[in-house]
Structure formats: structure tokens, C-alpha cells
């Protein structure tokens, strides 16, 4: 992951260049390893680099050998070895996993993003045609914003974070996932359009547990492509525990005596073998896992058990309520949101990411996406039908870029730590979103708890000779949303602090500048005030509030503790 900033067709790009460099400096936390910029015609591209793959030769912006094409990328391309083979006639200048985007553009034009397997946001400038293309990965794992200015109407601005655009742009949007922007037409075009994205579509594929398991294992395997120390975020919940378990197996496998020559091209990149045939495990022979919580939190106890079971080197960190409250302003500045759910969950993740980076780690695996794919939030138990269950699941997946993906990306990148999310692998996502939603529904009377199909896929008790992935009480543990699992007193403490900061009169008085988006709780009001300290009014259009389905009779507070089927735990 890195940080990018671009201004296409600026009125006076040379005069603007010093300002552009200062704007890009605002996201240097995303790329502390190196900075680069290129000016071509009236366009400038700036890059802040976090080196994960191609450490010595992956600096950006990347220029083509002819000098006519310039590329800035924030992301990781997992199928870059196959793409290099497909574009073997191109004179590659580096081992960067991102460089194949240039020959893909030359070969496929605006269809180039369709060929990419990874998480990405990029801008490619064609000086021949004075044309820019910008693209974002199918789900929006990687953040990207686009802006326009009335002072320079022909200019289009792009940046990894909102804070780069607020000085110059009156109109700012979150660049939509699965789209490509083409300056030739000044249009955003959807390139990712699977059938399941249509909320009226009703899939009917029966579950194949072995296929589901193998697909997730493959997804984790390809995300271990790294030349730096890596680890896993381990909350002790189902999703992070499964990812950690698979990663531990794959790390052990990568450290075994394997012959890289025997791998085909796909297996090479899945095993973390680079273009020279070298195996990479980030320099560590064991998987490192990381957890955070208030002392005695449910997640800490569960994570400890998982780490012991899978044999990871476990790092457990505590934080205090006051430390969390003290971090709120920084969290909101980096997250660029005032959504209650996102801030509650992001604060512990933000604090943990700093600890992880201090331990020399630059990449972690995380479990985002599973709850949206499988309907794992406890309020899904109130879905009135399989059709509505599926529609809500699709809606949650579509909005991940404004919720959990935004949280995972910006909480970690605030400290130059990259988070990769195996559940949102395109192949795995397509497989799971095509499943008959009747298979996913929560039916306690039938013993089918939330994410039953995922749990069942990794329950190997009836498979002789197959090593268990997790202890049974973890594999079948009820979901705790991360902001709950770090300790129930975290959310309670936030509410108490908001109660002190916001009076009844303040909450009852509408603020005209907030329009129809008036907060309904003191906590939400408090966060909005903090957001407004950092960002102008026009930035609020990029924010989405995460709330359960009111028309299913769900509680208004997004905490899973308010779901009817939640089993209460007690903090130690």
C-alpha cells in the first residue's frame, strides 16, 4: 500500500507543483519509505511509497521505457507474475508487482482493470493522448477519492485520502469501487459487474464445503506475497482466527524444503515466490499474531487460545479507556468519517497498528468482509426471508468501501502498515455470493448460527487425517463485533464521554450546515463536531452511517450487544 495524488490538466502545473507536493505530504504516513513525482504536459502525479514487494526497484511513479506512460499505484497486484508472462513482449524496468498495469493498458485500454487480481487504486497518464485513467479495485479495499474545482473546471484531482483534496476541490466523491475513470469521456465506467451485484438476483448454487475451504486457503496463500515481516490481526473471533490458522499453515509450508522450480506460474505467486524464484516469508520462520483489548476483554482470552492452538508467536496489547478517548481526534482525522460504528471499531485497531509497526511489521492479514458475505452480523437473524437476507448482504458488500474496508485501510495505513483482506478475494467473493442464501440464513432452531456455512467448511471432525483448523469453542463461538470484543466498557465509556461533552440542548438543536444528516445520539453528535474541525462541509458527502435494518425491527445502536440473540459476556 502507498499514497497517491494526481492533478490532471492543471492550468499552471509548474506553479502548482510545490503545492501538490505539500498536499501529498499529508498522506506520507501511508508511504514513509520514499516519495516521487512526475510532471508531464499539464499533469502531475505524486507517490508516497510503502515498500512491500520489489523493495529495491519498485519506486514510483513508474514510467514506460518509451517515457510516454506514467503510473502511480496504491495497492498490491497478486497475479503480477502471470501478467508479466502475458505481456512478455514489454520491456519491464523493475520487479514491481504494479508495473504490468502499463502493458495491460497498451493491450486492453480501459479494460485493463479487469485483468488485475488484487487491491488497488491507480492513475495512469498517457502523454501521447493527454489522457488519464484512474481505477479502483472491485470492492474498494484500497481508498481513493476524486475531486473537481470551479477555479480550474477542466482539472480532475485524485488522492488516496480526502485530506489531499479539501483545499482545492468544492466537489469530492469517494471513487466508486469496480469503476474506471477515462478522461477521454470524463465518465466513470463500471468494469466489475457480476450477476450477484444486482440486489434483485436470487442465486441458487448449493454449498460445496470443500470448495469454499480451498478457495479461502488459496486467497490467504496469495496474500502472503511479501518481502518484509508480516503478521495477522487476531481478535479471537471466527474470521480472524480462520485467517490466522490458514496463514500459520502456509508460513510453515513456505519454510519447508520446497523446490520453487517445480511450481507452475500460478503456484509461484500463490506460494510467495518472486520473479527470481525466491521464496519469501517476510524473513520470519513463524507467524506472528497481534491482539488488543481492555484488560480481561473477551477477544483477548479467545485470541490467546487460538494463538496457542495454531502455534503463532502472539503479541497481546492492552489499552485503557483514557488512551482510547485521547486518540479519538487522531482517529477521526485519519479515518475521515464521523460514523459511530467505524470510529468505535477503528480506535483499537488504530492503537494496535502503531504497536505492530513499532515491532518491525509492515503487512498484516485481517478478517474484514466475512460478515457482509455470509450475513454474520447478529441482526441478520431478523431477516424475514432468504431474498431479503441476500439483498441486505449485497448492499453491505457494495458499501464496504465506506465502512469496514475504509476502517481497515486507514487505521493501519495511519502508521504505514498494510492490511490485506483474504475474504474479499474476487474469486472467493464470487463463489460465496452465488450461494443459495437459504444456506446462509441464521436458524437457531436448526442449530444454524451466524456464518454456519463458513464454520462447517472448516469443521474437519468427520475428515480422518485432517488436522483441525481451530478449537471447537472458537470455531463455533458467537460473533462479537470488534468494538464489543475489545471490552464492553469501551463502548460504554464512549457513550459516557459523549454524555458529558454534549448537552441535551445541543442535541435537540438542528445545525443548518448538516442538512438532513442530523445526529440522533450524543455520541454521533460528538463525532460530527470533531469531524468538522478537520474537514469542510463538502467532505461530509463521502461519509456513510453504518446502522442495522430498522425495518427488520433491529435496535438503532449498531453494537451487536443490542441484537436479540446476543449472548452476554462479562469483562474480567
Domain membership of residue 571 (yes or no) is no
Domain co-membership, 221 together with 357:
yes
Distance separating alpha carbons of residues 69 and 81, to the nearest angstrom? 21
How large is the average pLDDT for residues 423-428?
98
Over the stretch 68-95, which tens digit does the pLDDT of each residue have?
Answer: 999 999 999 999 999 999 999 999 999 8
Domain co-membership, 147 together with 225:
no
Burial of 218 (0-12, 13-18, 19+ CB in 10 A): middle
- What is the rounded average pLDDT for all residues in the chain? 91
Over the stretch 367-416, which tens digit does the pLDDT of each residue have?
Answer: 999 999 999 998 999 999 999 999 999 999 999 999 999 999 999 999 99
Residue where one domain finishes, among candidates 133, 165, 193? 193
Which residues contact residue 392 at a Cβ distance below 8 angstroms, ignoring those fewer than 6 apart?
375, 380, 383, 549
Domain co-membership, 131 together with 256:
no
Range of the domain at 494: 209-562
Residue where one domain finishes, among candidates 161, 193, 225? 193
Confidence band for 13, pLDDT divided at 50, 70 and 90? very high
Domain co-membership, 58 together with 173:
yes
Domain membership of residue 556 (yes or no) is yes
Domain co-membership, 158 together with 299:
no
279 annotated ligand-binding residue: no
Domain co-membership, 438 together with 540:
yes
366 annotated ligand-binding residue: yes
Domain co-membership, 476 together with 445:
yes
Domain membership of residue 200 (yes or no) is no
The pLDDT assigned to 158 comes to: 98
Name the residue among 521, 451, 530, 532 with its Cα closest to residue 491.
521
Domain co-membership, 186 together with 249:
no
Domain co-membership, 134 together with 266:
no
Half-sphere exposure of 293 (CA within 13 A, CB side): 31
233 annotated ligand-binding residue: yes
Domain co-membership, 350 together with 286:
yes
- Is there a contact between 219 and 76 (Cβ–Cβ < 8 Å)? no
- Is there a contact between 343 and 324 (Cβ–Cβ < 8 Å)? no
Enumerate the β-bridge partners of residue 233: 290
473 annotated ligand-binding residue: no
Domains in the chain, number: 2
Domain membership of residue 528 (yes or no) is yes
Domain membership of residue 569 (yes or no) is no
The pLDDT assigned to 564 comes to: 58
Active site residue 2: yes
Over the stretch 276-330, which tens digit does the pLDDT of each residue have?
Answer: 433 344 555 689 999 999 998 888 999 999 999 999 999 999 999 999 999 999 9
Domain membership of residue 239 (yes or no) is yes
Domain co-membership, 292 together with 358:
yes
Domain co-membership, 158 together with 280:
no
Helix pair 340-358, 522-534: axis angle to 10 deg: 60
Over the stretch 125-148, which tens digit does the pLDDT of each residue have?
Answer: 999 999 999 999 999 999 999 999
Q: Do β-strands 131-136 and 179-182 pair in parallel, antiparallel, or remain unpaired? A: antiparallel
Domain membership of residue 262 (yes or no) is yes
- Is there a contact between 43 and 7 (Cβ–Cβ < 8 Å)? yes
Give the CATH number for residue 404.
3.40.50.620
Give the CATH number for residue 157.
3.60.20.10
Q: From the candidates 2, 72, 164, 432, which is the catalytic residue?
A: 2
- Is there a contact between 359 and 315 (Cβ–Cβ < 8 Å)? yes
Query: Which phi and psi angles does 278 have, rounded to 5°?
Result: -95, 140
- Going by the DSSP 8-state scheme, the letter that residue 456 receives in this structure is H
Distance separating alpha carbons of residues 3 and 555, to the nearest angstrom? 38
- Is there a contact between 531 and 338 (Cβ–Cβ < 8 Å)? yes
How large is the average pLDDT for residues 458-475?
95
292 annotated ligand-binding residue: yes
Distance separating alpha carbons of residues 142 and 543, to the nearest angstrom? 16
For 35-52, give the DSSP string. Answer: EEEEEETTEEEEEEE--S
Residue where one domain finishes, among candidates 140, 166, 193? 193
Helix pair 386-398, 426-433: axis angle to 10 deg: 160
How large is the average pLDDT for residues 152-178?
97
Domain membership of residue 290 (yes or no) is yes
Confidence band for 569, pLDDT divided at 50, 70 and 90? very low
Over the stretch 215-273, which tens digit does the pLDDT of each residue have?
Answer: 999 999 999 988 888 999 999 999 999 999 999 999 988 877 454 444 455 444 444 44
Amino acid at each position: 500500500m502507498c499514497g497517491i495524488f494526481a492533478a490532471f490538466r492543471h492550468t499552471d502545473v509548474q506553479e502548482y507543483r510545490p503545492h501538490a507536493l505539500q498536499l501529498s505530504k499529508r498522506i506520507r504516513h501511508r508511504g514513509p519509505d520514499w516519495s516521487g513525482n512526475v510532471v508531464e504536459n499539464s499533469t502531475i502525479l505524486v507517490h508516497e511509497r510503502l515498500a512491500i514487494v520489489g523493495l529495491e526497484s519498485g519506486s514510483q511513479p513508474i514510467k514506460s521505457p518509451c517515457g510516454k506512460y506514467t503510473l502511480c499505484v496504491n495497492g498490491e497486484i497478486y497475479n503480477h507474475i502471470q501478467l508479466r508472462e502475458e505481456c512478455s513482449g514489454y520491456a519491464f524496468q523493475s520487479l514491481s508487482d504494479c508495473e504490468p498495469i502499463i502493458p495491460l493498458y497498451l493491450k486492453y485500454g480501459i479494460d485493463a482493470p479487469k485483468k488485475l487480481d488484487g487491491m488497488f487504486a491507480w492513475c495512469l497518464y498517457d502523454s501521447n493522448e493527454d489522457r488519464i485513467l484512474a481505477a479502483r479495485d472491485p470492492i474498494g479495499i484500497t481508498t481513493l477519492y476524486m475531486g473537481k474545482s470551479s477555479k480550474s473546471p477542466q482539472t480532475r484531482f485524485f488522492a488516496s485520502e480526502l485530506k489531499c483534496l479539501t483545499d482545492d476541490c468544492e466537489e469530492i466523491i469517494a471513487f466508486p469501487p469496480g469503476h474506471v475513470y477515462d478522461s477521454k469521456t470524463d465518465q466513470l465506467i463500471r468494469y466489475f459487474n457480476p450477476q450477484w451485484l444486482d440486489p434483485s438476483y436470487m442465486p441458487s448454487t448449493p454449498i460445496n464445503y470443500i470448495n469454499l475451504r480451498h478457495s479461502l486457503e488459496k486467497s490467504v496463500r496469495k496474500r502472503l506475497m511479501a518481502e518484509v515481516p508480516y503478521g495477522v490481526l487476531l481478535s479471537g473471533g471466527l474470521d480472524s482466527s480462520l485467517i490466522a490458522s490458514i496463514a500459520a499453515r502456509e508460513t510453515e509450508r513456505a519454510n519447508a524444503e520446497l523446490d520453487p522450480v517445480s511450481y507452475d506460474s500460478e503456484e509461484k505467486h500463490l506460494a510467495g515466490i518472486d520473479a527470481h524464484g525466491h521464496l519469501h516469508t517476510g524473513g520470519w520462520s513463524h507467524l506472528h499474531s497481534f491482539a488488543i483489548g481492555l484488560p480481561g476483554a473477551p477477544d483477548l482470552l479467545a485470541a490467546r487460545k487460538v494463538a496457542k492452538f495454531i502455534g503463532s508467536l502472539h503479541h497481546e496489547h492492552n489499552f485503557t479507556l483514557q488512551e482510547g478517548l485521547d486518540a479519538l481526534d487522531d482517529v477521526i482525522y485519519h479515518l475521515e468519517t464521523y460514523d459511530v460504528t467505524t470510529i468505535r471499531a477503528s480506535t483499537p485497531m488504530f492503537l494496535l497498528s502503531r504497536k505492530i509497526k513499532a515491532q518491525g511489521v509492515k503487512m498484516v492479514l485481517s478478517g474484514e468482509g466475512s460478515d457482509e458475505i455470509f450475513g454474520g452480523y447478529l441482526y441478520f437473524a431478523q431477516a424475514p426471508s432468504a431474498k431479503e437476507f441476500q439483498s441486505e448482504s449485497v448492499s453491505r458488500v457494495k458499501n464496504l468501501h465506506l465502512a469496514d474496508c475504509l476502517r481497515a485501510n486507514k487505521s493501519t495505513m495511519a502508521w504505514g502498515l498494510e492490511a490485506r483482506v483474504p475474504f474479499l478475494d474476487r474469486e472467493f467473493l464470487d463463489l460465496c455470493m452465488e450461494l443459495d442464501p437459504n444456506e446462509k440464513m441464521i436458524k437457531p432452531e436448526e442449530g444454524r448460527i451466524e456464518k454456519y456455512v463458513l464454520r462447517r467448511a472448516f469443521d474437519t471432525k468427520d475428515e480422518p487425517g485432517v488436522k483441525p483448523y481451530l478449537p471447537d469453542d472458537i470455531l463455533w463461538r458467537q460473533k462479537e463485533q470488534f468494538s464489543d470484543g475489545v471490552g464492553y466498557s469501551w463502548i460504554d465509556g464512549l457513550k459516557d464521554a459523549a454524555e458529558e461533552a454534549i448537552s441535551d440542548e445541543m442535541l435537540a438543536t438542528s445545525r443548518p450546515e448538516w442538512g438532513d444528516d442530523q445526529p440522533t445520539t450524543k455520541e454521533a453528535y460528538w463525532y460530527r463536531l470533531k469531524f468538522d474541525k478537520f474537514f469542510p462541509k463538502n467532505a461530509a458527502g463521502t461519509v456513510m452511517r453504518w446502522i442495522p435494518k430498522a425495518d427488520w425491527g433491529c435496535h438503532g445502536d449498531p453494537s451487536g450487544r443490542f441484537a436479540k440473540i446476543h449472548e452476554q459476556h462479562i469483562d474480567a
